[in-house]
Amino acid sequence: MGVVVRGARPDDRDDLCGALVACGAFTSEEVGIAQQILDEALVAGPESGYTLFVADGEGRARGYVCVGRTPLTESTWHVYWICVDPAFQRKGVGRALQQHAEHAVAAAGGSRLVLETSGKPSYAPARVFYEQAGYAVVGRIPDYYRSGDDCVLYCKRLTD
Amino acid sequence: MGVVVRGARPDDRDDLCGALVACGAFTSEEVGIAQQILDEALVAGPESGYTLFVADGEGRARGYVCVGRTPLTESTWHVYWICVDPAFQRKGVGRALQQHAEHAVAAAGGSRLVLETSGKPSYAPARVFYEQAGYAVVGRIPDYYRSGDDCVLYCKRLTD
């Protein structure tokens, strides 16, 4: 199954919302907020503060990454969401999305990417994914999401 | 000069915008964003996601603290801004605002406060202020705001 990464289109919305639910990584509150951001970004484009890239497999959107400039910083960006439909996981799609986003951020003058994820054992695969991609732990906030669920902060420098 | 901390009123706007500029701690971009948030919070109240407390001295607003629930967390809140008019600094006004906010957050069920500040030498007084108030460093993102200007993350647990 070949997958290509491209910009997002408004008609990707239903596929992306479906992937958010199907991937099983997010609570209903997280899905709701992610959908709000999708709606803003699909309508307003980068003016929304968010930029989306979509993994297109067999003509449909199978996952996406959402990044945006970090307010009040000169050249820091955040990775807000990354999500891949379960049928397309374990095929390098997440890695392709991440790398595409990094190149796009660097091309836009961004010098580093910051992201937050959970410290729970069930999120170990996500943390390994980021660490293998060159992200370093820059912080850990105990019990941030809820008791027993720390926030782990990662940063990757894109330029020397 | 006696100062009392109270809720914010729409007619505090001009005094608070004046304090933001006068305190000299913020760039023009930071002042602009802080004013946008003030406008949202003064019109919509806590529905905006922000809660303001004002230091009232001689009948006028001399400073404020802005806090809000952190999205996607169970009981974490952020301190977004704290600002005191220079004529009212070094009198414990910042400390009174901070403590008032902590009590209000705890009363609303918040269990911890997180804040971000600069690692620059010129921000050492702010970092000492937070450390003396019981905030612990939980992260540091190199060159976050711009080259040579790290983000230092603090957290204070409000409940055991």
Q: What pLDDT was estimated at residue A25?
A: 85
| A158 and chain B in contact, CB less than 8 A | no
Mean pLDDT on B79-107: 95
Domain region containing B74: 3-157
Among residues A106, A105, A126, A104, the alpha carbon closest in space to that of A116 is found at A126
Mean per-residue pLDDT, A100-123: 97
Mean pLDDT of B70-89: 95
The answer to whether residue A62 scores a pLDDT higher than 80 is: yes
Mean pLDDT, residues A29-39:
94
Give the integer Cα–Cα distance in Å for A42 and A21.
18
Q: Is residue A33 within 8 Å of residue B71, measured between CB atoms? A: yes
Q: Do A112 and B153 touch (CB under 8 A)?
A: no
Tell me the average pLDDT of chain B: 95
Distance separating the N- and C-terminal Cα atoms of chain B: 36
Average pLDDT over residues B72-91: 94
Percent of chain A with pLDDT over 70: 99
Q: In this model, does residue B57 exceed pLDDT 90?
A: yes
pLDDT higher than threshold 70 for residue B102: yes
State the pLDDT at residue B110.
Answer: 97
Angle at which helices A124-132 and A93-107 pack, to 10 degrees? 50
Query: pLDDT, tens digit, for every residue of B126-146?
Result: 999 999 999 999 999 999 999
* B72 contact residues in A (CB cutoff 8 A): 27, 29-30, 33, 145
The more confidently predicted of residues B2 and B104 is B104
Residue B148: CA count within 13 A, CB half-sphere: 2
pLDDT at B25: 85
pLDDT attached to residue A131: 97
Name residue, tokens 């602009």.
B32
Q: How many domains is chain A partitioned into structurally?
A: 1
Tell me, what's the pLDDT at A64?
97
Identify all chain B residues contacting A76, using CB atoms and an 8 Å cutoff.
Answer: 141, 144-145
Output the average pLDDT for chain A: 95
| pTM to 2 decimal places | 0.93
The rounded distance, in Å, linking the Cα atoms of B38 and B26 is: 15
Task: State whether B146 and A33 contact (CB < 8 Å).
Answer: no
- CATH code, domain with A76: 3.40.630.30
Model pLDDT, residue B1:
58
List of chain B residues whose C-beta atoms are within 8 Å of the C-beta of residue A33: 71-72
Chain segment A36-53, per-residue pLDDT in tens: 999 999 999 888 999 999
| Window 98-137 of B, Cβ < 8 Å to A | 111-112, 114
Read off the pLDDT of each residue in A54-70 and give the average, rounded to a whole number: 96
Predicted local confidence at residue A160, as pLDDT:
66
Could you give the dihedral angle defined by the CA atoms of residues B8, B9, B15 and B20, in that order, rounded to the nearest 10 degrees?
40
- Residue B159: the pLDDT is 84
pLDDT tens digits for A129-148? 999 999 999 999 999 999 99
Furthest C-alpha separation in chain A:
42
pLDDT of residue A129: 95
Helix/strand/coil for B25: coil
Mutation site for A-interface testing, chosen from B74, B141, B156 by largest number of A Cβ within 10 Å: B141
Cα distances (Å, whole numbers) of residue B103 to A111, A146, B152: 39, 20, 23
